[in-house]
Amino acid sequence: MREVLQCSKSQLNQMQKTYAPFTVTTPNGAIFRAKKNGITITAYRSGKVMFQGNNTTAESKIWQPSAISKEPTNKSTESAGLPADFANWSVIGSDEVGTGSYFGPLTVAAVYVDNSHLEQVRQLGIQDSKKVTDPEIIRMAKQLITFLPYHVVNLMPTKYNQLMQHYNQGQLKALCHNLALQTVLNKISPTKPDGILIDQFVAPATYYRYLKGQPNIISQNVYFKIKGEQAHLAVAAASIIARYVSLIAMDQLTEQAKITLPIGAGNAVDQIAAKLLREGHSLDQFAKLHFANTAKAKKLAQRYH
């Protein structure tokens, strides 16, 4: 059997990470090749991904909700894997910030946007939080939280580091998304959303595998979409609120450190982390210790002793 999907660049990147443990020799013209459960998966630079073997449908179906054959040409175009009118549904959206930043918390927000509030949200100029300035995020978030049911799971570094002793980061994100969604569902009960949209950070099958054993797993009418903020305003609102809470947390940590903590995980981060160590601070209260920056900072700190 053979199945072929046309995928976006971001999805190819996610596939490559997911199938990394199963990779084999990559043929010319391909990005990667993997063999998993008797199925060979080959991804090409053109965006085509070929699934070959027995029961390929089950494996390829994992990716179909977010696989795309072409980019949407306008807002009314059907989002890949979502119903044509999904943007007009009453939806709980969830998104997270902070996963790629050494300093600061992991922050996950879930927000319910009833279709009666869509225009009100739209008028605020909501978009992906990465594309707006901090003052705009603060302005929009303060308005959103006055009329939208929401919940934020904000794991400050100390708690984050404790949990990372038992989970990987993907598992931890899945747990936080599930908790945030469950809390919002409880807040709006007995109202039920038309759908739930999670800003996709891992294949759906992997997401649910991460949640295995949890007492309450939200799975009814759940959709996954890379760049989910473009598919529904609920995810965009979640992105804004998560960023707002993260900004407040970073201000608190900066005050404790008495030095501005940069975002990201680049060289500037290593320098600041080393400075904190030289001043006798524990990085546990400021940073995600499993990042490679920790070892780099320790080397830098020792160099100046």
pLDDT value, residue 221: 92
Specify whether the CB–CB gap between 93 and 199 falls below 8 A.
yes
pLDDT value, residue 17: 82
User: What 3-state DSSP class applies to 299?
Assistant: helix
Describe the strand order of the beta sheet including 222-225 as a list of residue ranges: 150-155, 106-113, 91-97, 195-199, 222-225
Q: Is 110 exposed, middle or buried (0-12, 13-18, 19+ CB in 10 A)?
A: buried
pLDDT in tens, 172-195: 999 999 999 999 999 999 999 999
Evaluate the CA torsion angle 72, 75, 81, 83 in order and state its sign.
Answer: negative
pTM: 0.72
Q: Which amino acid is at 32?
A: F
| Residue-by-residue pLDDT tens, the chain, 305 positions | 777 888 888 888 888 888 888 888 887 778 888 888 888 888 887 788 888 887 777 778 778 654 433 333 333 233 447 888 899 999 999 999 999 899 999 999 999 999 999 999 998 888 655 678 889 999 999 999 999 999 999 999 999 999 999 999 999 999 999 999 999 999 999 999 999 999 999 999 999 999 999 999 999 999 999 999 999 999 999 999 999 999 999 999 999 999 999 888 888 899 999 999 999 899 999 999 999 899 998 998 887 65
Q: What is 88-252's CATH superfamily?
A: Ribonuclease H-like superfamily/Ribonuclease H (3.30.420.10)
Q: What is 2-66's CATH superfamily?
A: TATA-Binding Protein (3.30.310.10)
Describe the strand order of the beta sheet including 23-24 as a list of residue ranges: 2-6, 48-53, 39-44, 30-36, 23-24
pLDDT value, residue 25: 82
pLDDT value, residue 2: 75
The torsion angles phi and psi of 95, rounded to 5 degrees, stand at -155, 160
pLDDT value, residue 76: 28
Give residues with Cβ within 8 angstroms of 233, minimum separation 6. Answer: 87, 93, 113, 118, 121, 122, 126
Domain locations along the chain: 2-66, 88-252, 257-303
Helix %, strand %, coil % of the chain (to 5): 45, 20, 35
pLDDT value, residue 207: 95
Q: Could you tell me the two tokens for 227?
A: 């760049």
For the beta carbon of residue 207, count every other beta carbon within 10 angstroms.
Answer: 23
Distance CA 303, CA 305 (A): 6
In terms of DSSP H, where are the helices of 7-48? 9-18
Distance CA 150, CA 98 (A): 19
β-pairing, 195-199 vs 222-225, is: parallel
User: What 3-state DSSP class applies to 304?
Assistant: coil
